[in-house]
C-alpha cells in the first residue's frame, strides 16, 4: 500500500512539473516577438549593419537606438558643431563620448540682457559645469566650447540702439570678452532666430531646401564668402499640439514604435 501511494505521489509531482514547464514555454514564445534594446558598443558602423534605410523597421529602432560604433574617431573632414540642449540632458554624456568627433560644442546655458544704455549682463553662468567641460576637452584638446547666448527680453528698440551706436557695440563686446576670459570659453553662439521672426507653433517642415538656400543667399550673395558659413539642418522631428511644438526625441520614438518614420534624401539636398 505504501509503495502504491508513493508511486501515485511521484506521478502527480511529475505531472505538475510538466504543466509548469509548458506554461513557461508559452511565455518564452511570446517574449520572442519583442525587440530587446541593446546598449553595448557595436563592432560595425550603422552603414555596415544596414541600418541607414529610408523605411527603418520599428524593431531596429528599439534595438539599436542606444548603441554606437565602438570605433570613435572623426571621419568627416569639415567642422562639426554639437548642441547640448535643455530638452535632452543625455547630450552631456554624448559630448563626452564623442568629443573626438566634434570641433565645437555649444551648451545651451547663457542669456544676454540689456539693462540700459551701454549696460549689458550675461546670466545663466550657474549652469556652467567646469568638470563636464574638462571631460569633453579630455577626449579632444582641440574642441572649442562656445555656449549659446540668447538675447533675452530684447525689444526692437534695444536692437536698433545697439546696431546704431559704436559705444553700445564696444560695451557689448567688452562684456562678452570678459565673460569668455573669466569662464574659459572660446566664444559664443548667438541665438536670434525667435527674435527675428522664428515661429515654432505652426506645423511645417524642419529644414525646407528653398528656405535654406534663401538664407545662404541673404547672408552671402557672393559665393566667395559662403565657406565661412557652418550650415546646420534640423534633423529632429516636431510634435505639434495645441500648446505649441516640442522636439520628438529618439527615446520617444522608441517608446512609441508605431509612429511612422520616413527618411528621404534627394540630390538637391545633398548639394547643399
**Where a domain ends, among 150, 170, 198?**
198
Residue 98: phi and psi, rounded to 5, are -105, 25
Question: 238 by DSSP, 3-state: which?
Answer: strand
Domain that holds residue 63: 35-71
Q: Confirm whether pTM is higher than 0.85.
A: no
Coil vs helix vs strand at 56: coil
Q: Are residues 88 and 119 in the same domain?
A: yes
User: What's the Cα-to-Cα distance from 26 to each of 13, 15, 29, 31, rounded to whole Å?
Assistant: 21, 17, 5, 9
In a domain, 19, yes or no: no
Burial 101-137 (b: 16+ CB within 10 A, else e): bbbbbbbbbbbbbbeeebebebebeeebeeebbebbb
The CB-side HSE value for 224 (13 A sphere, CA atoms) comes to 0
pLDDT of the chain, 272 residues: tens digit per residue: 444 444 444 344 434 443 333 444 444 444 445 656 677 888 888 888 888 888 888 788 778 877 888 777 777 888 889 989 877 788 899 899 888 889 999 999 999 999 988 899 999 999 999 999 999 999 888 899 999 999 998 888 999 999 999 999 999 999 999 999 999 999 999 887 766 665 556 667 778 889 889 989 998 999 998 888 888 877 767 777 666 677 776 666 666 655 555 555 444 333 32
Dihedral sign (CA 83, 88, 92, 95): negative
Same domain, 83 and 189: yes
Shared domain check, 187 and 211: no
- Cell 559705444 -> residue: 167
What domain count does the chain have? 3
Domain identity same for 56 and 109: no
Which CATH number belongs to the domain containing residue 123 in this structure? 3.20.20.80
Residues 144, 218 within the same domain? no
Q: Which of 204, 216, 218 is nearest to 272 (CA)?
A: 216
Amino acid at each position: 500500500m505504501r509503495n502504491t501511494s508513493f508511486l501515485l505521489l511521484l506521478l502527480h509531482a511529475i505531472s505538475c512539473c510538466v504543466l509548469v514547464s509548458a506554461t513557461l514555454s508559452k511565455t518564452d514564445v511570446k517574449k520572442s516577438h519583442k525587440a530587446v534594446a541593446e546598449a553595448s558598443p557595436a563592432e560595425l558602423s550603422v552603414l555596415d549593419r544596414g541600418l541607414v534605410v529610408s523605411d527603418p523597421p520599428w524593431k531596429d529602432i528599439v534595438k539599436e537606438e542606444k548603441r554606437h560604433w565602438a570605433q570613435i574617431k572623426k571621419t568627416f573632414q569639415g567642422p562639426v558643431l554639437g548642441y547640448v540642449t535643455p530638452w535632452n540632458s543625455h547630450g552631456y554624456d554624448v559630448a563626452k563620448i564623442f568629443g573626438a568627433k566634434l570641433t565645437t560644442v555649444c551648451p545651451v546655458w547663457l542669456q544676454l540682457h540689456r539693462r540700459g544704455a551701454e549696460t549689458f549682463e550675461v546670466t545663466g553662468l550657474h549652469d556652467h559645469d567646469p568638470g563636464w567641460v574638462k571631460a569633453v576637452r579630455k577626449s579632444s584638446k582641440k574642441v572649442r566650447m562656445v555656449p549659446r547666448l540668447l538675447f533675452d527680453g530684447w525689444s526692437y528698440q534695444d536692437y536698433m540702439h545697439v546696431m546704431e551706436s559704436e559705444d553700445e557695440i564696444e560695451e557689448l563686446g567688452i562684456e562678452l570678452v570678459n565673460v569668455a576670459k573669466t569662464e574659459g570659453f572660446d566664444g559664443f553662439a548667438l541665438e536670434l532666430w525667435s527674435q527675428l521672426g522664428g515661429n515654432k507653433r505652426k506645423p511645417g517642415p524642419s529644414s525646407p531646401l528653398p528656405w535654406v538656400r534663401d538664407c545662404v543667399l541673404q547672408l552671402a550673395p557672393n559665393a566667395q564668402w559662403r565657406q565661412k558659413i557652418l550650415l546646420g539642418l534640423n534633423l529632429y522631428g516636431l510634435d505639434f499640439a495645441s500648446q505649441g511644438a516640442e522636439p520628438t526625441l529618439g527615446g520617444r520614438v522608441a517608446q512609441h514604435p508605431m509612429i511612422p518614420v520616413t527618411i528621404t534624401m534627394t540630390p538637391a539636398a545633398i548639394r547643399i
